[in-house]
């Protein structure tokens, strides 16, 4: 089978890919998925290593690998069943959002599993089948709550920017477009908002 021209195939939009999958253009669809796997898998795993640095590397390799495959399949399923609307987001961003969500869910499951294991290790101290070594330090629920409370205390304009950035996962370019300002100004504004949120969260935690 000849190697597909990834550059050309991946230049398509998510909407184009929906059409290709919906119209059963099987060969092209397979080519695109093969390219996505070939071009994005390593980048995603690397990203996961840096982003979730607190997790053990061996664990992360397996989980991120699986999350990438599952995310790609979810992307395919969504593109076929529901379709995408024309968005300014790149194909890579869209695929990664599926993979990131899958990865987060899988890591949460893994964390819960390790916590259960840790509890069992405490109960069965004398038995060697459960090790108490594995521990993952991620921010706990209280810290998330502090951030939510801090978000509430912020001015509406700042809060909106953070919601765009982190809930809707918009890039600084998209936020600049919405606000009608230059990209560097938008970046500065996002940074300032995040600094204010950080300050308020710290104040909350001190109180």
Rule CB under 8 A: which residues touch other proteins? 14, 42-44, 46-47, 49-51, 78-79, 81-87, 89-90, 92-94, 96-98, 100-101, 104-105, 139, 143-145, 147-149, 151-152, 156-157, 159-160, 162-164, 166-169, 171-172, 178-180, 184, 187-188, 190-191, 194-195, 197-198, 201
Q: How far is CA 89 from CA 96, 127, 167, in A?
A: 11, 52, 15
CB of 122 to other proteins, least distance (A): 26
Nearer to other proteins among residue 27 and residue 81 (C-beta): 81
Q: How far is the CB of 84 from other proteins (least distance, A)?
A: 5
CB 153 → other proteins: shortest distance, Å?
9
DSSP string, 130-170: S-S--------HHHHHHHHHHHHHS-HHHHHHHIIIIIS--
Closest CB to other proteins among 8 and 42?
A: 42
Cβ proximity to other proteins, 88 vs 122, nearer residue? 88
Q: How far, in Å, CA of 38 to CA of 198, rounded? A: 38
Which C-beta is closer to other proteins: that of 113 or that of 124?
113
Q: What are the CA-CA distances from residue 207 to residues 41, 95, 118 (Å)?
A: 44, 41, 31
In the complex, least distance from residue 22 CB atom to other proteins, rounded to whole angstroms: 12
In angstroms, the CA 33 to CA 202 distance is 44
Which DSSP string corresponds to 7-38?
HHHHTS-HHHHHHHHHTT-HHHHHHHHHHHHH
Nearer to other proteins, 36 or 164 (CB): 164
Distance in Å, CB of 113 to other proteins, minimum:
18
């Amino acid at each position: 089978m000849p190697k597909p021209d990834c550059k050309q195939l991946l230049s398509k939009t998510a909407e184009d890919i929906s059409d290709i999958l919906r119209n059963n253009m099987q060969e092209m669809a397979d080519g695109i998925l093969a390219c996505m796997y070939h071009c994005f898998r390593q980048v995603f795993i690397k990203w996961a290593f840096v982003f979730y640095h607190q997790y053990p590397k061996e664990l992360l390799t397996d989980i991120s690998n699986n999350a990438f495959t599952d995310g790609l399949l979810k992307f395919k399923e969504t593109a076929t069943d529901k379709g995408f609307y024309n968005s300014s987001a790149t194909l890579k961003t869209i695929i990664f959002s599926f993979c990131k969500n899958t990865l987060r869910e899988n890591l949460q499951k893994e964390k819960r599993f390790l916590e259960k294991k840790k509890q069992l290790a405490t109960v069965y101290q004398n038995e060697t089948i459960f090790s108490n070594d594995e521990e993952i330090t991620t921010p706990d629920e209280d810290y998330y709550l502090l951030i939510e409370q801090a978000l509430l205390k912020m001015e509406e304009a700042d809060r909106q920017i953070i919601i765009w950035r982190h809930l809707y996962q918009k890039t600084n370019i998209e936020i600049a477009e919405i606000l009608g300002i230059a990209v560097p100004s938008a970046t500065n504004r996002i940074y300032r908002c995040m600094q204010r949120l950080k300050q308020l969260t710290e104040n909350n935690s001190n109180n």
